[in-house]
Amino acid sequence: MAQLDVDQFLARFKERASAVKERGIPPIEGPARQSFVEQAENDFLDYSLVGSASWAVEDGALVLRIPLG
């Protein structure tokens, strides 16, 4: 089983956020286009929040602290 490297884990989320921001919109129209854009916005938010977290191990649990400001 692979060891968890938390710094690399968080870096992958930063990379995912960048990839979502840089990807283009496929040639879709109407409600499908709006749905795609909304999902991309949600993906970016999720990935960037996790990617910006600081971390600690407390009582045997990985704790991520996500800045909300």
Q: How far apart are CA 60 and CA 69, in angstroms?
A: 28
The pLDDT averaged over each successive group of 10 residues in the chain (69 residues) is 89 96 92 95 96 96 91
DSSP, residue by residue, 2-13: PPP-HHHHHHHH
Q: How far apart are CA 67 and CA 9, in angstroms?
A: 17
| Alpha carbon distance, N-terminus to C-terminus of the chain | 36
pLDDT at 1: 63
pLDDT at 54: 96
Q: How far apart are CA 69 and CA 64, in angstroms?
A: 15
In the chain, where the domains are located: 6-65
